[in-house]
């Protein structure tokens, strides 16, 4: 079987919080990607909204790549047709904060221009990774989806793996041998 | 509640629980074998959801009879199970599993939407709770039906074959239980005689949009829920094996 395309998944867990990258899923199309994203990433935690974006639609650069090479840049020009691009940054290397986070939007006529404008507009901090993608490439869950896609997770009980005490029990069994 | 009404209600709850339990078990057989990792997780979720729904129905029954759901599931013989034959059939290929899940999800959607207005409030409460999750199940299975139906010649052929094989079993889905009329008259459950036509108005156009032929209705009378195929016994042997190996074990 040929491989399905990969979609990056962005999740918003609370009202007013930005969408953050949760990981990626494979799917034949955006609608199925959204469905897979729900099942892979949000069965347990809070979720208000999910976005999926074809990985191929994301123009990405690391801070190191930006420092070493500027040949990707294009002449900035505002005359050609512009569209909205979403801008994402990975802002921290701390283990609990390795997410690529939505920071805002820019208008541009190409991904490279979008990144250049993003670098000017969002220059605070020391982002480790930059992603830009056209707004039209984002497929989003709708407000009406919350009730059936995300809300049932709140009622489910589950155990963390460490509650099964498997490792401790294996030690006990081995000591008895 | 008068004893006759309560008796039919406990039978209805058993049928509802058994449908979800047996389907959930069949679905769980895909764990590790679904067509792609993401779907393996998604369908495992569906299996767990169905088992969770079974638990809700069994708990309502326990509130009336005192019967422990674990005993009911692990120590009851196949002849005493009241699930539909459709849900006990082997999982087949992916198209068969999806076709069955779709037909069941659509039926549950129709039933639960009306059950949410039940005059017996515990039924109405569970219907509302399960109903929202079933909306997602319906979305999941219908998305697959559409893609398999309109996909390749191979996926279409398998999907149509699955539908043709399953269709005769759907006669049983909305067939009333003995004396279910008492529940209908009390306003506890919707009239089963109206449910099938409502279900068909959802399912038939959707299947056609998905490039599939809706099989003709055979018109055979539905089997009673005490009638099972040869497949239920091995399924329950598998499901009950561990619990029966050591009935006093603490979990």
Beta-carbon separation of A152 and B41 below 8 A: no
- The question of ipTM being above 0.90 is answered as no
Distance CA B251, CA A145 (A): 36
Which among B38, B140, B143 has the least Cβ separation from residue A25?
A: B38
Supply the pLDDT for residue A1.
45
B250 in contact with chain A, both atoms CB, cutoff 8 A: no
| Nearest residue of chain B to residue A43 (CA atoms) | B45
Which among B39, B52, B133 has the least Cβ separation from residue A148?
A: B133
Which among B38, B133, B135 has the least Cβ separation from residue A26?
A: B38
Distance CA A99, CA A102 (A): 10
**Cβ neighbours of residue B237 closer than 8 Å, sequence gap 6 or more:** none
Burial (Cβ within 10 Å: 0-12, 13-18, ≥19) of residue B221: exposed
Supply the pLDDT for residue B227.
96
Q: Which residue has the tokens 């041998």?
A: A177
| Nearest residue of chain A to residue B53 (CA atoms) | A156
| Nearest residue of chain A to residue B140 (CA atoms) | A35
Supply the pLDDT for residue B48.
94
Tokens of B233: 């016994």
Distance CA B126, CA B130 (A): 6
What does DSSP assign to residue B31? T
Q: Which residues of chain A have pLDDT under 50?
A: 1
Q: Which residues of chain B have pLDDT under 70?
A: 218-219, 251
**Tens-place pLDDT, residues A167-176:** 778 888 888 7
Distance CA B226, CA A134 (A): 58
| Residue from A27, A36, A42 whose CB has the most chain B CBs within 10 Å, to mutate | A36
Distance CA B45, CA A35 (A): 12
Contact of A89 with A100, CB cutoff 8 Å: yes
Q: Which residue has the tokens 């029966």?
A: B244
A27 in contact with chain B, both atoms CB, cutoff 8 A: yes
Q: For the whole model, what pTM was predicted?
A: 0.90
B154 in contact with chain A, both atoms CB, cutoff 8 A: no
């Amino acid at each position: 079987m040929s491989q399905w395309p990969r979609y990056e998944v962005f999740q918003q867990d609370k009202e007013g919080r930005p969408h953050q990258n949760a990981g990626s899923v494979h799917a034949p199309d955006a609608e199925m990607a959204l469905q897979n994203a729900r099942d892979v990433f949000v069965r347990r935690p809070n979720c208000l909204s999910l976005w999926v974006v074809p990985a191929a639609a994301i123009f990405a650069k690391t801070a190191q790549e930006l420092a070493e090479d500027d040949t990707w840049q294009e002449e900035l020009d505002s005359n050609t047709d512009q569209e909205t691009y979403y801008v994402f940054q990975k802002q921290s290397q701390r283990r609990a904060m390795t997410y690529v986070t939505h920071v805002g939007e820019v208008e541009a006529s190409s991904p490279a221009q979008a990144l250049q404008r993003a670098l000017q507009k969002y220059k605070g901090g020391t982002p480790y990774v930059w992603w830009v993608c056209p707004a039209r490439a984002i497929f989003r869950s709708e407000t009406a989806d919350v009730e059936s896609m995300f809300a049932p997770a709140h009622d489910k009980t589950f155990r963390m793996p460490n509650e099964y005490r498997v490792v401790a029990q294996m030690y006990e069994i081995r000591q008895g041998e | 509640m008068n004893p006759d009404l309560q008796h039919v209600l406990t039978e209805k709850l058993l049928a509802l629980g058994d449908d979800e339990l047996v389907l959930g078990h069949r679905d769980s057989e895909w764990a590790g074998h679904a067509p792609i990792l993401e779907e393996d997780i998604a369908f495992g979720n569906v299996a767990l959801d169905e088992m969770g729904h079974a638990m809700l129905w069994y708990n309502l029954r326990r509130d009336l009879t005192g019967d422990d759901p674990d005993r009911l599931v692990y120590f009851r013989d196949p002849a005493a199970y009241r699930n539909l034959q459709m849900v006990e059939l082997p999982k087949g290929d992916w198209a068969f599993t999806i076709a069955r899940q779709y037909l069941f999800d659509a039926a549950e959607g129709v039933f639960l939407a009306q059950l949410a207005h039940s005059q017996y409030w515990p039924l109405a409460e569970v219907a509302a709770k399960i109903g929202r999750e079933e909306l997602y199940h319906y979305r999941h299975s219908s998305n697959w039906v559409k893609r398999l139906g309109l996909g390749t010649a191979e996926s279409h052929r398998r999907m149509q074959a699955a539908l043709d094989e399953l269709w005769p079993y759907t006669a049983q889905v909305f067939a009333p239980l003995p004396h279910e009329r008492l529940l209908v008259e009390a306003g506890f459950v919707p009239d089963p005689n109206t449910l099938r036509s409502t279900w068909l108005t959802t399912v038939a156009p959707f299947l056609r949009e998905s490039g599939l032929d809706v099989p003709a209705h055979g018109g055979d009378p539905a089997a009673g829920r005490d009638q099972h195929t040869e497949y239920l016994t091995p399924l329950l042997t598998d499901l009950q094996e561990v619990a029966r190996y050591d009935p006093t074990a603490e979990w």
